[in-house]
C-alpha cells in the first residue's frame, strides 16, 4: 500500500519552519497541493519561512501557495479558506500545527500569557476546523489532524497554559470524530516530540536532539491524514517511536444511596482506581450507561423493559 495525496489539497498551519515545514514538504512530495500558512509580519508582508517552503515545493515540481493568516483571527482564517477554494476548489486535509510557548510556573504566569497560548493552540484549531468543516461535509471527505502534546496528556512544569490548550484539542477531536464520521471526515491527534525551535533550548544533550528529527514525527502525521487513516486516535511520535495514547476509565464501584458519602469513596479508593478492568469509552453516553447499569443491577431494575 502506497500512501499518496494526488489531487488533494492540504492546509498546514504554522508551516514556515519546524514540524509544520516538514509536514508541508512531505505532503507535497506525495502529491498534495499545499497551503503553507505562517503568520505574516506586522507590516503584512509574507513570512520568509512560508515563501521558502513554497519555493522548495515548487522546485521539486509540486504546487503550493503561501498564506499569512493569523489562526486566532477567524476573519483571516475564512479569507484564507476562500482563497484556497477559489484557486483549487476543495480542501481535503487540515493540519492544525500552529503554536507558541509562553512558559512560566503558574504562580508567575500573567493571565495574558495563558490566554494567548489558548487562543493560538485551541481557538486557532477551532477557527481553522470550523472554516473547512462544511466544505469537507459537502465533499463527503476530510482528514483533520490536531496537534496535542505530552504536556497536555501528562503534564509538564511551567506549561499550565500550553498543557490546558493541548488537552483541550483532544476533547475537541473526541466530539468532531463522532459528528464527522457519517460525512467521511476523520479527526485525529498528533502528539509529537521533536527537535524544533520550541524544544531545542530545553534539551541539553545534543545526542538526544539528533535522534528527535522532525521527519520521524511527520511520518506519523502522514498516516493520520491518509485515506486509510484511523479515527479518534492520539498518535505519539518521536525519535522513531510510535504509540497510541488512550484515555481509559476503571470499572469502579457502586454505592447504594445510603452508602454514597465522601468517607465511603475514600475508604474504597483502591477499588475505584483498580486498573485491571479499565476500558476505553468512545462517547460520553457510554459512561452514563455504565453507571446507570451498575445502579440498576444493584437495585434489581430491568432497564430492557418499560
- Domains of the chain, start order: 9-245 (3.40.50.720), 248-299 (1.10.287)
Q: How far is CA 269 from CA 143, 252, 256, 273, in A?
A: 41, 9, 16, 6
Confidence (pLDDT) at 197? 61
DSSP element (H, E) containing 36: strand 33-37
> How far apart are the two ends of the chain, measured CA to CA in Å?
51
Side-chain half-sphere of 59: how many Cα atoms within 13 Å? 7
Q: Mean of the pLDDT values across residues 51-69?
A: 98
CA dihedral for 68, 72, 78, 84, sign (positive or negative): positive
Tell whether the model's pLDDT for residue 201 goes beyond 90.
no
Q: What is the tens place of the pLDDT at every residue in 128-148?
A: 999 999 999 999 999 999 999
Sheet holding 234-238, edge to edge: 64-67, 33-37, 9-12, 93-96, 142-147, 185-192, 234-238, 241-245
* pLDDT-derived band at 199, boundaries 50, 70, 90: low
Q: Residue 202's pLDDT is what?
A: 65
CA atoms within 13 A on the CB side of 207: 0
- Could you read off the pLDDT of 244-264 as tens digits, one per residue? 999 999 999 999 999 999 999
Active site residue 254: no
Question: Which residues are within 8 A (CB) of 232 and not within 5 positions of it... i.e. 6 or more apart?
Answer: 173, 174, 177, 178, 187, 188, 282
- Which residue's entry shows cell 477499588? 271
In this structure, what is the dihedral angle of CA atoms 26, 27, 30, 33, given to the nearest 10 degrees? -140
Q: Active-site residue among 162, 183, 242, 254?
A: 162
Model confidence at 194, pLDDT cuts 50, 70, 90, reads confident
Residue 212 has pLDDT above 90, yes or no: no
pLDDT higher than threshold 90 for residue 169: yes
Cell of 145: 489532524
For the entire predicted model, the pTM comes to 0.95
Confidence of residue 96 (pLDDT cuts 50, 70, 90): very high
Provide the CA 297 distance to its chain's centre, in angstroms.
38
Contacts of 152 (CB under 8 A, 6+ apart): 162, 163, 164, 165, 166, 167, 168, 169, 170
Q: Quote the cell numbers at residue 306.
A: 418499560
- Cα 47 from Cα 36, distance rounded (Å): 10
Amino acid at each position: 500500500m502506497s500512501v499518496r495525496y494526488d489531487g488533494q489539497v492540504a492546509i498546514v498551519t504554522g508551516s514556515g519552519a519546524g514540524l509544520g515545514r516538514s509536514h508541508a514538504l512531505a505532503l507535497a512530495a506525495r502529491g498534495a497541493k499545499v497551503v503553507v500558512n505562517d503568520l505574516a509580519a506586522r507590516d503584512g508582508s509574507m513570512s520568509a519561512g512560508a515563501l521558502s517552503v513554497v519555493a522548495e515545493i515548487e522546485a521539486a515540481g509540486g504546487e503550493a501557495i503561501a498564506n499569512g493568516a493569523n489562526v486566532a483571527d477567524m476573519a483571516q482564517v475564512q479569507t484564507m479558506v476562500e482563497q484556497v477554494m477559489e484557486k483549487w476548489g476543495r480542501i481535503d486535509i487540515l493540519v492544525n500545527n500552529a503554536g507558541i510557548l509562553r512558559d512560566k510556573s503558574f504562580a508567575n504566569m500573567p493571565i495574558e500569557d495563558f490566554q494567548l497560548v489558548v487562543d493560538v493552540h485551541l481557538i486557532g484549531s477551532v477557527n481553522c476546523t470550523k472554516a473547512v468543516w462544511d466544505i469537507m461535509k459537502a465533499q463527503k471527505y476530510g482528514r483533520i489532524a490536531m496537534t496535542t502534546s505530552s504536556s497536555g496528556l501528562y503534564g509538564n512544569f511551567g506549561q499550565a497554559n500550553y498543557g490546558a490548550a493541548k488537552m483541550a484539542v483532544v476533547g475537541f477531536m473526541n466530539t468532531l470524530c463522532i459528528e464527522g464520521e457519517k460525512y467521511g471526515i476523520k479527526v485525529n491527534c498528533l502528539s509529537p516530540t521533536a527537535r524544533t525551535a520550541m524544544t531545542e533550548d530545553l534539551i541539553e544533550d545534543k545526542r538526544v536532539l539528533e535522534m528527535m528529527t522532525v521527519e520521524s514525527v511527520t511520518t506519523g502525521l502522514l498516516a493520520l491524514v491518509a485515506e486509510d487513516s484511523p479515527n479518534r486516535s492520539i498518535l505519539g511520535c518521536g525519535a522513531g517511536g510510535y504509540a497510541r495514547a488512550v484515555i481509559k476509565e476503571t470499572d469502579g464501584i457502586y454505592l447504594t444511596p445510603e452508602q454514597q458519602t465522601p468517607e465511603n469513596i475514600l475508604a474504597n479508593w483502591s477499588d475505584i482506581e483498580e486498573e485491571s478492568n479499565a476500558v476505553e469509552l468512545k462517547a460520553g453516553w457510554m459512561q452514563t450507561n455504565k453507571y446507570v447499569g451498575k445502579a440498576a443491577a444493584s437495585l434489581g431494575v430491568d432497564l430492557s423493559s418499560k
